[in-house]
C-alpha cells in the first residue's frame, strides 16, 4: 500500500458513556477504494463524520495527507485544531450524505456552483462549466434548472455526488448513499459511484449495506464491530472466506435478509 | 355636517398612518434581524446586548416606550448636555420599530434555529464559513418560516400607530379625535375610521402574502 492518505491512530470517540470508536487504528491508501460494513452502532458512519470534521474526537490522532486533522502542530506538540486549520484540511474531503442534504432553496445547478463560487472563488462561468460537466457525468443535464424537491431520491443523490465532486476533493466519503432510497432507485446511484471508482484515481471511503456492490467496487472491505475493525481484506476473501466468527455471523444475517 | 366632509382630514391622517406603519415596519425588520441574529452570536457582548434589547422592549408597554423617547430622553439628554429632542415623527417611528423589532427578533432567531442540522452539516462539508452558511444557506430557508408571523406583527404594528396620536402626531386616530371634539359625531367618525384601519390591514395582509410567496418560491416548485 502506498503512503496512507487517511490514518486513524488509536482514535477514541465517545457519545456520553457510549464508546463509539475504541482505540481505532485504520488506514486508507491514496487512490484506494475502501468499504466499511458492520452492524448499526458499530461506528462506521462516525469514521466518515470525523473525517468531514462534523464530529470531534476524544483521544488519538487522525491524519489526512500526513497532517493531523483535529490537531495542529505547535512547537513539536499537538494542540486542538483552530477553525482555520479545519477549513484548510476540509478542502481535501467531500461527503455524500444518506439524506442527500441538498440545499432545497437552490436549483440543481446552483447547488453545484454555490460553494465553488463562494468558497473556492471560481468565477460564475467557470463554476457553471464545472457544474454542467458534472451534471452530464451523473446524467442530469436536463434537470439543471429544477429544485431538489422536483427530483426523485435517486436523482437527488446523484446531485449530491456531483455537488461534492464540484469542490475537487482528494477523498470522497459516502455515508450510506443508498439507504434512504426506494429499491428501484438504488441502481442508478450505485452506477454513478461505480463509474467514479473505476474511472478516477479518487480515494473513496464508503459505508454501505449493499454487499454485492461493496464486493464489486472495493479494493478492501473492513468489517466494523463495537468501534473496532474486526476483520479486513480483499472483498473476495472477506465475503467468501471470513476468518472471524463475528464476521461470518454478520454476513450470514445480511445475506439471508437480501435473499 | 355631511359625513363626506370628514373624509379629507381623515384621509390626510390615514396617509400619515400609512407612512408611520411602513417606515416603522421596515426599520423594525432591520432591528429584528440584527437582534435575532445577534442573539445567536458566539460573541457574548453581541448576544448580551441583543437579549437585553429584546427583553426590555418586549417587557415594557409601547406607550411608555413612546413617552420615554419623546418626553424623558430629551430631559436625560439635557442633564448630560446632549440635545436628544426628537421630532414626533422620529420618536413615533423609532418607538414602534424598536417594539416590533423586539418581537420580530425572536421570530428570526427561532426560524434560523429551526433549519435542520443536516443543512449546516452540508454547508460545513462544502467548507462554507459560518457567516456564509448563515447568509446563503440558513436565512433563505428561514425566511418563509418567518413570514406568517411577520405578517401578524406588521398588522399589529399598523394598529399600534394609533398610539402616536398621543404625542401630537396627526395620524388617523389623531384626526378622528380632532373632528369628534369639533362635531361630537362619534358614531359616524369612528365607523369611518374603523373601516379605514380595516382597509389598510387588508392591503397589508395581501402585500405580506405576496412577499411570503416570493421568498418561498422554491418550496412550491413543481407541486
What is the tens place of the pLDDT at every residue in B44-80?
Answer: 999 999 999 999 999 999 999 999 999 999 999 999 8
CB-based contact B47:B39 (threshold 8 Å): yes
Q: How many CB atoms lie within 10 A of CB A256?
A: 8
* A125-140 per-position pLDDT tens digit: 999 999 999 999 999 9
Q: Is a pLDDT exceeding 70 seen at residue B111?
A: yes
CA distances for A32 relative to A27, A29, A40, A205, angstroms: 10, 5, 24, 8
Predicted local distance difference test score (pLDDT) of residue A18: 92
Percent of the residues in chain B that have a pLDDT greater than 90, as a whole number? 76
Q: SS3 helix, strand, coil % of chain B, rounded to 5?
A: 85, 0, 15
Who among B118, B127, B140 is closest to A97 (CB)?
Answer: B118
Predicted local distance difference test score (pLDDT) of residue A259: 59
d(CA A102, CA A162): 11
CB-based contact A3:A66 (threshold 8 Å): yes
d(CA B120, CA B138): 8
How many domains would you assign to chain B?
A: 1
Name the pLDDT band for A178 (thresholds 50, 70, 90). very high
Closest CA to B154 of B16, B14, B18, B63: B18
Predicted local distance difference test score (pLDDT) of residue A115: 97
Q: Which residue has the higher pLDDT, B203 or A256?
A: B203
Mean pLDDT of A14-34: 94
Contacts of B128 in chain A (CB under 8 A): 115, 118-119
**Cα-trace Rg, chain B:** 21
Predicted local distance difference test score (pLDDT) of residue A75: 87
d(CA B113, CA B120): 10
- What's the pTM? 0.89
Q: Is a pLDDT exceeding 80 seen at residue A3?
A: no
The residue of chain B nearest to residue A104, with distances taken between CA atoms, is B218
Predicted local distance difference test score (pLDDT) of residue B1: 62
B48: domain range? Answer: 3-222
Predicted local distance difference test score (pLDDT) of residue B68: 93
Q: Is a pLDDT exceeding 80 seen at residue B223?
A: no
The residue of chain A nearest to residue B215, with distances taken between CA atoms, is A105
The residue of chain B nearest to residue A172, with distances taken between CA atoms, is B125
* A63-118 per-position pLDDT tens digit: 999 999 999 988 889 999 999 999 999 999 999 999 999 999 999 999 999 999 99
What average pLDDT does chain B have? 92
Contacts of A54 in chain B (CB under 8 A): 121, 124-125
Predicted local distance difference test score (pLDDT) of residue B217: 83
Helix/strand/coil (H/E/C) assignment for every residue in B173-213: HHHHHHHHHHHCCHHHHHHHHHHHHHHHHHHHHHHHHHHHH
d(CA A137, CA B93): 56
CB-based contact B159:B17 (threshold 8 Å): no
Contacts of B126 in chain A (CB under 8 A): 114-115, 119, 163-164, 167
d(CA B127, CA B65): 44
Q: Is a pLDDT exceeding 90 seen at residue A34?
A: yes
Q: At what angle do helices B139-160 and B7-40 cross, to 10 degrees?
A: 140
Q: How far is CA A143 from the centre of its chain?
A: 25
Contacts of B222 in chain A (CB under 8 A): 146-147, 149-150
Q: Is B145 helix (H, G, I), strand (E, B) or coil?
A: helix
d(CA A8, CA A205): 13
* B120-179 per-position pLDDT tens digit: 999 999 999 999 999 999 999 999 999 999 999 999 999 999 998 888 888 899 999 999
Which residues on chain A place their C-beta less than 8 Å from a C-beta of chain B?
A: 52-54, 87, 90-91, 93-95, 97, 99, 101-106, 114-115, 118-119, 146-147, 149-150, 163-164, 167
Predicted local distance difference test score (pLDDT) of residue B222: 63
Q: At what angle do helices B186-215 and B7-40 cross, to 10 degrees?
A: 40
Contacts of B122 in chain A (CB under 8 A): 97, 101-103
Contact A147 B221 (CB under 8 A): yes
Mean pLDDT of A31-43: 92
CATH number at residue B97: 1.10.3720.10
What average pLDDT does chain A have? 94
d(CA A143, CA A164): 17
Amino acid at each position: 500500500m502506498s503512503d496512507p492518505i487517511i490514518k486513524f491512530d488509536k482514535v477514541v470517540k465517545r457519545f456520553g458513556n457510549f464508546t463509539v470508536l475504541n482505540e481505532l487504528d485504520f488506514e486508507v491508501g491514496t487512490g484506494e477504494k475502501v468499504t466499511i460494513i458492520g452492524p448499526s452502532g458499530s461506528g462506521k458512519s462516525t469514521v466518515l463524520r470525523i473525517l468531514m470534521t462534523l464530529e470531534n474526537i476524544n483521544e488519538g490522532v487522525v491524519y489526512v495527507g500526513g497532517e493531523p486533522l483535529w490537531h495542529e502542530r505547535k512547537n513539536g506538540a499537538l494542540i486542538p485544531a483552530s477553525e482555520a486549520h479545519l477549513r484548510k484540511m476540509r478542502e481535501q474531503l467531500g461527503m455524500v450524505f444518506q439524506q442527500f442534504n441538498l440545499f432545497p432553496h437552490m436549483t440543481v445547478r446552483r447547488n453545484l456552483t454555490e460553494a465553488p463560487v463562494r468558497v473556492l472563488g471560481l468565477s460564475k462561468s467557470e463554476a457553471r462549466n464545472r457544474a454542467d460537466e458534472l451534471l452530464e457525468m451523473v446524467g442530469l443535464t436536463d434537470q439543471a434548472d429544477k429544485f431538489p424537491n422536483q427530483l426523485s431520491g435517486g436523482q437527488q443523490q446523484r446531485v449530491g455526488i456531483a455537488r461534492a465532486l464540484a469542490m475537487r476533493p482528494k477523498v470522497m466519503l459516502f455515508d450510506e448513499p443508498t439507504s434512504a432510497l426506494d429499491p428501484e432507485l438504488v441502481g442508478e446511484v450505485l452506477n454513478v459511484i461505480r463509474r467514479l471508482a473505476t474511472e478516477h484515481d479518487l480515494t473513496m471511503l464508503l459505508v454501505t449495506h449493499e454487499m454485492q456492490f461493496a464486493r464489486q467496487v472495493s479494493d478492501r472491505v473492513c468489517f466494523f464491530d463495537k468501534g473496532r475493525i474486526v476483520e479486513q481484506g480483499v472483498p473476495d476473501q472477506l465475503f467468501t472466506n471470513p476468518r472471524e466468527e463475528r464476521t461470518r455471523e454478520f454476513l450470514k444475517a445480511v445475506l439471508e435478509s437480501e435473499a | 355636517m355631511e359625513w363626506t366632509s370628514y373624509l379629507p382630514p381623515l384621509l390626510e391622517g390615514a396617509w400619515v398612518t400609512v407612512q408611520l406603519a411602513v417606515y416603522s415596519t421596515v426599520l423594525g425588520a432591520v432591528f429584528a434581524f440584527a437582534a435575532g441574529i445577534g442573539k445567536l452570536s458566539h460573541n457574548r457582548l453581541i448576544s448580551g446586548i441583543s437579549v437585553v434589547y429584546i427583553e426590555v422592549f418586549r417587557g415594557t408597554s409601547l406607550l411608555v416606550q413612546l413617552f420615554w423617547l419623546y418626553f424623558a430622553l430629551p430631559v436625560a439628554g439635557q442633564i448630560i448636555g446632549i440635545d436628544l429632542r426628537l421630532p414626533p415623527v422620529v420618536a413615533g417611528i423609532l418607538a414602534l420599530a424598536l417594539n416590533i423589532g423586539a418581537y420580530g427578533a425572536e421570530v428570526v432567531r427561532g426560524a434560523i434555529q429551526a433549519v435542520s442540522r443536516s443543512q449546516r452539516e452540508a454547508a460545513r462539508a462544502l467548507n462554507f464559513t459560518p457567516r456564509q452558511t448563515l447568509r446563503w444557506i440558513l436565512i433563505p430557508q428561514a425566511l418563509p418560516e418567518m413570514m406568517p408571523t411577520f405578517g401578524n406583527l406588521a398588522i399589529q404594528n399598523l394598529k399600534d400607530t394609533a398610539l402616536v396620536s398621543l404625542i401630537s402626531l396627526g395620524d388617523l386616530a389623531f384626526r378622528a379625535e380632532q373632528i369628534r371634539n369639533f362635531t361630537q359625531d362619534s358614531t359616524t367618525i369612528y365607523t369611518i375610521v374603523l373601516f379605514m384601519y380595516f382597509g389598510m390591514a387588508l392591503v397589508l395582509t395581501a402585500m405580506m402574502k405576496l412577499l411570503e410567496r416570493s421568498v418561498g418560491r422554491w418550496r412550491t416548485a413543481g407541486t
